[in-house]
Structure 1
Amino acid sequence: MTFNVFRGAGFVGALATCGLMATTAIAQTMPDKIEKIGLMVQDMSNPFFSAMDRGARRAAEEIGADLNVQDAQLDLSAQYNQIDAFIQQGVDLIVISAVDGGGIEPAIIKAKDAGIIVIAVDTPANGADAVIMTDAVQAGMKSCTYLFEQMGGEGQVLLVDGTPIQTIIDRIDGCKTVAADFPDIEIVGQQSSMNDRASGLMVTTDMLTANPDVTGIFGMNDPSALGAVLAVEQAGKTDQIIVTGVDGSPEGVAELKREGSPFIGTATQNPGKMVEEAVRIAQEMVAGNAPEDDTILIESVLVTRETVAEYPGW
């Protein structure tokens, strides 16, 4: 089997908000067998997508398929080029974590017209045969419920947002839904990171300067939350502020175990399982068994300092 990683270049500064998968039927001839798989990730520098890569390798090995992995580095145009390459290579299945779930639709339709099964993971992509993702609203609700409870049900909160893909939007919406049940919790700041630690540090530092009395921070993923942790420590506010995130990443687990850290909880995702499930569903489709529901949600579980020892991780 062959495993290749291709790295795209550049960055799309303004990402369009993802929509739901297109409901218009697209003519598609299914492959006879899943022999070639193309995995497209948003940014391999994020450990979340490295875990996807490992899940794809396991799934491909189990069924004896070749795997080609491409890294878009958050560039929508790169994902267009990658899909074109997959079509030329004659892959049977594309598993995509889309940079822009709406913007990628024409390329997905082109792939499906070429007889390729396309399954989105982590976030919806218009036109895909199915999407497999964490219940992102649930993840945001679980993380923020724990945060607000640990704050004693009162105080000022910052939200470290991210790029406007559907899963991130859903996590923030989940957090705000919970906040409505805590009348003494006030969200006083919300800024978007680039989903990584460095930008999480930057935007949190800015918000803390404007809101010095904050006592809680929700980061929409673990990298941004850990950037917020660093901002809290640099501001000398570790005794004042607590932080939660979403992912259940190896870095998040390590931070939960670090003595004195303000990071107290993370709502889990399972990126490897998403890809493995995508391959399983594609095999079912080849066998003539389309999924009953084109959206498959994976439950999010809260991991805290008290429960991290039992969490198996990615």
Structure 2
Amino acid sequence: MMKLRHILLASTLLLAACGKTSDQHAESKGTIAVSLLSLQNPFFKVIGDSIIAEAKKNGYDTLVVSADGDVARQSNQIKDFIVKDVAAIVLSPTDSKAIVTVIQEANAAAIPVFTVDVPCNEPGVKIATQVATDNFGGGKMAAEAMIEALQGQGGKIGVLDMKQVESCILRVKGFKEVLAAHNATAARKIEIVSELDCHGANDKGYKATEDMLQAQPDLVGIFAINDPGALGARGAIEKAGRTDKVVIIGFDGQPEGKQAIKEGKIYADPIQFPDKMGAEVVRAFMRYSKGEELPPQMLIPTSLYRKADGAADASLK
């Protein structure tokens, strides 16, 4: 079925090329269609660019679009991919539960579906494989960084989460697991007293942190599920005049986040490798197209990035 689709698609492209340069689509094996959470987020832009580069190496065209965090938009994009009869669909789900129905439509059309960064672990869907950061492990690393930053003092902390996105749920789960183990033996416990949705955005992180600080004036730390949320938290903490009282742990390792770590505005980030994710999901498709059996998921470990790493990072100012 896969080979037949590629032959038909290649034939269609060649017919469409009549009147243009004869070799415009001659090398294309088909199209890998990609719907990412938001191309406004530099992290997903890197994933998209990496997919394009790796697909080109392997003779495939790409169609990369932004869902802009809108599940209805993403559903329509996937329906469009199905109509186009693409070779494969890659997506980072805006909502892992709400996107199930349209993934099932792709399954029914025999188009392989891969997820990147954000998994979809819902029943009733077939995902060829999920390529992602080890988000659970990264969340555990974030908790270890929080324990390190608080230097045994303990206290009240807040979490800026994003409950509709599976990867963020896993980060918070890992974070809580390590804190629970720490609190079981620690003389001074670290207590999560507030959890608010930052929508993974700077402005929402700012507002959520303002609300946290008003409700919990003795807050000593914040864990944000990504860098935009962490940078928004930093802005609110600066406005409140509490920069020497509240430590921030972010997640991602975007350039802006790394710069903030270098400047001491964020304590640390478990950093991800979006370039590796983009390349790996294309390689997974290539293996799939050759009939290889893929594991359910391919996880890429995070690495903890502190101020010393920022000072040695030639890519920063």
For the aligned pair, the TM-score class normalised by the smaller chain equals 0.7 to 0.9
In structure 2, the partner of 1:38 is 33
Closer, same or farther in 2 for the Cα pair 1:120/1:47, shift >3 Å? same
Letter in 1 for 2:275: G
Secondary structure class of the residue paired with 2:181: coil
| Alpha-carbon distance, 1:115 to partner | 2.8
User: Shift of residue 159 of structure 1?
Assistant: 0.8
Taking structure 1 as reference, are residues 309 and 63 closer, same or farther at Cα in structure 2, changes over 3 Å only?
A: farther
* 1:296 alignment partner, SS class: strand
1:280 paired residue number: 283
Q: What is the CA–CA distance in structure 2 between the aligned matches of 1:61 and 1:136, rounded to whole Å?
A: 28
Instruction: Spell out the pairing of 1:177-256 with structure 2 (5 A cutoff).
Output: 177-183=177-183, 184-256=189-261
Question: Does the CA contact (< 8 Å) of 2:51 and 2:281 recur in 1?
Answer: no
1:303 alignment counterpart: 305
Q: Unmatched 5+ residue regions in structure 1?
A: 1-28
Task: Write the deviation string for residues 210-266 of structure 1: whole angstroms up to 9, x where unpaired.
Answer: 1111111111111101111111111101111110111011111111122xx431100
- Determine if the alignment matches structure 1 residue 127 to structure 2 residue 122: no
How far apart are residue 127 of structure 1 and its match? 2.5
* C-alpha contact 1:91 1:116 (8 A) present in aligned 2: yes
What CA distance in whole angstroms lies between the structure 1 residues aligned with 2:82 and 2:194? 44
SS in 1 for 2:115: strand
Is 2:110 the partner of 1:111?
no
User: Once the two structures are aligned, what percentage of the paired residues are identical?
Assistant: 33
What amino acid is aligned across from residue 299 of structure 1 in structure 2? Answer: P
Pick the structure with greater CA Rg. 2
Q: 2:21 — aligned with what?
A: none
- Residue 92 of structure 1 aligns with which residue? 87
The structure richer in helix per residue is: 2
Counterpart-to-counterpart distance in 1, 2:296 and 2:103: 15
Which residue identity does 2:45 align to in structure 1? S
> What is the CA–CA distance in structure 1 between the aligned matches of 2:3 and 2:165, rounded to whole Å?
30
Runs of 4+ aligned residues of structure 1 deviating over 3 Å after TM superposition are 31-34, 309-313
Q: TM-score, normalised by structure 1?
A: 0.85
Deviation at 1:31, TM superposition (A): 3.9
Q: CA–CA distance in 1 between the matches of 2:314 and 2:175?
A: 25
The question of whether the paired residues in 2 share the 8 Å contact of 1:163 and 1:193 is answered with: no
Q: Which residue of 1 aligns with 2:137?
A: 138
Contact preservation (8 Å) 1:43, 1:74: yes
- Candidates 268, 271, 292, aligned match of 2:271: 268
Structure 1 counterpart of 2:292, from 269, 289, 305: 289
- 5+ residue gaps, structure 2, are 7-28, 184-188
CA distance in 2, matches of 1:107, 1:272: 27
Aligned to 1:257: 262
2:150 is aligned with 1:170: no
Aligned residues of 2:259 and 2:310 also touching (Cα < 8 A): no
Change (3 A) 1:279 1:31: farther
1:56 is matched by which residue type in structure 2?
A: I
User: 1:111 offset after TM fit, Å?
Assistant: 1.6
What is the CA-CA distance between 1:109 and the residue it aligns to? 2.3
* Larger RCO: 1 or 2 (CA < 8 Å, sep 6+): 1
Contact 1:142 1:267 in 2 (8 A): yes
Which residue of structure 2 lines up, in the alignment, with residue 11 of structure 1? none
Deviations 1:57-87 (A, max 9, x none): 2112211211111111111111121112112
What's 1:24 paired with?
Answer: none
